[in-house]
Amino acid sequence: MTRNIICFDLEGPLSPQDNAYEVMDLVDNGHEIFEVISRYDDLLTLERRKNYEPGDTLALIVPFLIYHDISERDILKVSERAKIIDGSRFLISRLEQLGWVPYIISTSYQQHAYNVGEQIGIPPERIYCTFFPLDEFKEEIGELSTSLIEDLERDILKKLYPNINDDNRIKERLDRFYYRDIVGTELEDVMRRVVVIGGQRKVDATLRIAKKVKKSLSELIVVGDSITDYKMLKEVKAEKGISVVFNGNKYAIPYSNVGLAATDIRFLLIIILAYMRGGRSTVMDTVKTWENSYDEFVKDPEKIPDEVIPEDLKNFLLTKVRDPEFFPPHFHYLEGINREKLEEVLKIHEKTRVLVRGDAAKLG
């Protein structure tokens, strides 16, 4: 008998840190540079640029990391400061007890993904992430086109970041650097070798996992939150699997069939147990029950029926519901969602996203 499979994005559902964003903060004005490049990533994704996948930001920042002499040890040190989403360890432990096999599918550099995986109990062999031998790359590059990078940094900080909503200006300047200035250089070769696990590559990883465990996508649960996850969420949803958006943004919510907005991910266990009771249909019925009874459930958790919440989660909710910093679980049924409901769901998710992820919430 094969065990049930669940695949998590890492940054958002399991850890609030955007590791690459924080690594760039080791550079003067690094957050500003990263935010402009992240916006460029969104734009290339939305225009469906050939051979480009959402999350390739992690390849686009390589020139800056090399120029500023950032090392793999620096990436790990930043990762070691990362917090874990409340309830993550509890959830992973319970999943294992219930016979589930949790995987991570993440754009994150391997240094960060393996570190977080170790903290919450998911081993490297169950983590699909971005292989990133940065120290080797630095040794391979002979002469670095420092003037090109210096010019780009200056333009980003003086012209692009102050006008970060000027999409045409961002595309024009960054297209010049990435698609003309460094073409044919060692720097371009190194960047091409950074295969970021985002977009279609997350779908490919999900398919590899499904094949390995002899399951179809309809038998999987996937959890994501952002633009790098939307293709994975969309594919599993289309195949009638369970596609959960956790504190998601506008790029991820429309492609999911279940929404969960919360400051603690242990409430995902409600979905897990519903799936174990009766599969997809029971999950959807449970989500609808929570959505329709949210005010009543939050006002008096004692009234929540036992069939839609395990006893330990009910007790946890009773102890936390009056805490002003706690956001009770808000489930949404997202199949066939219309624009009006999408706006309503997005507002709720945006609130929890900021509470949980801070500055990283604004990244695509």
C-alpha dist (Å) from residue 49 to 40, 182, 261, 354:
11, 18, 31, 29
Distance of alpha carbon 326 from alpha carbon 328, whole angstroms: 6
Name which of 245, 9, 41 is nearest 108 in CA terms: 9
CATH number at residue 207: 3.40.50.1000
Distance of alpha carbon 92 from alpha carbon 89, whole angstroms: 5
- For residue 218, the model assigns a pLDDT of 97
Pairing type for strands 4-8 and 100-109 reads parallel
- For residue 314, the model assigns a pLDDT of 95
The values of phi and psi at residue 35, to 5°, are -65, -35
Q: What secondary structure does DSSP assign to 174-214, as a single string?
A: HHHIIIIITTTSHHHHHHHT-----THHHHHHHHHHHHHTT
Cβ atoms 72, 111 nearer than 8 A: yes
Number of domains the chain is built from: 1
- For residue 2, the model assigns a pLDDT of 66
Distance of alpha carbon 257 from alpha carbon 115, whole angstroms: 30
Strands (E), the chain: 4-8, 100-109, 127-130, 220-224, 242-246, 258-261, 330-333
Strands (E), 195-284: 220-224, 242-246, 258-261
Helix, coil or strand: residue 113: helix
pTM exceeds cut of 0.75: yes
- For residue 361, the model assigns a pLDDT of 63
- For residue 155, the model assigns a pLDDT of 97
How far out from the chain centre does Cα 333 lie?
20
- For residue 357, the model assigns a pLDDT of 86
- For residue 141, the model assigns a pLDDT of 85
Domain of residue 27: give its range.
1-364
- For residue 322, the model assigns a pLDDT of 84
- Total residues belonging to the chain: 364
DSSP state of 229: T
- For residue 325, the model assigns a pLDDT of 80
Distance of alpha carbon 292 from alpha carbon 296, whole angstroms: 9
**Strand arrangement of the beta sheet that strand 127-130 belongs to:** 127-130, 100-109, 4-8, 220-224, 242-246, 258-261, 330-333
- For residue 285, the model assigns a pLDDT of 97
Q: Print pLDDT tens along the chain (364 aa).
A: 568 999 999 999 999 999 999 999 999 999 999 999 999 999 999 999 998 998 999 999 999 999 999 999 999 999 999 999 999 999 999 999 999 999 999 999 999 999 999 999 999 999 999 999 999 999 988 777 789 999 999 999 999 999 999 999 999 999 999 999 999 999 999 999 999 999 999 999 999 999 999 999 999 999 999 999 999 999 999 999 999 999 999 999 999 999 999 999 999 999 999 999 999 999 999 999 999 999 999 999 998 999 999 999 999 999 998 888 889 999 999 999 999 999 999 999 999 999 988 876 677 6
- For residue 227, the model assigns a pLDDT of 92
